[in-house]
Amino acid sequence: MKRSEPRFVVCVKNKGYAASLELRKLYQVVADVAAAKLGQIRVIDESGEDYLYPEEYFVPVQLPQAAERAVRRAAAAK
Predicted TM-score (pTM) of the model is 0.84
> How would residue 1 be classed by pLDDT, with cut points 50, 70 and 90?
very low
pLDDT tens string 5-16: 659 999 999 999
pLDDT tens string 19-75: 999 999 999 999 999 999 999 999 999 888 999 999 999 999 999 999 988 988 887
For residue 72, the model assigns a pLDDT of 82
Go through the domains of the chain in sequence order and give each one's CATH number.
8-76 (2.30.30)
Distance CA 69, CA 3 (A): 14
For residue 6, the model assigns a pLDDT of 57
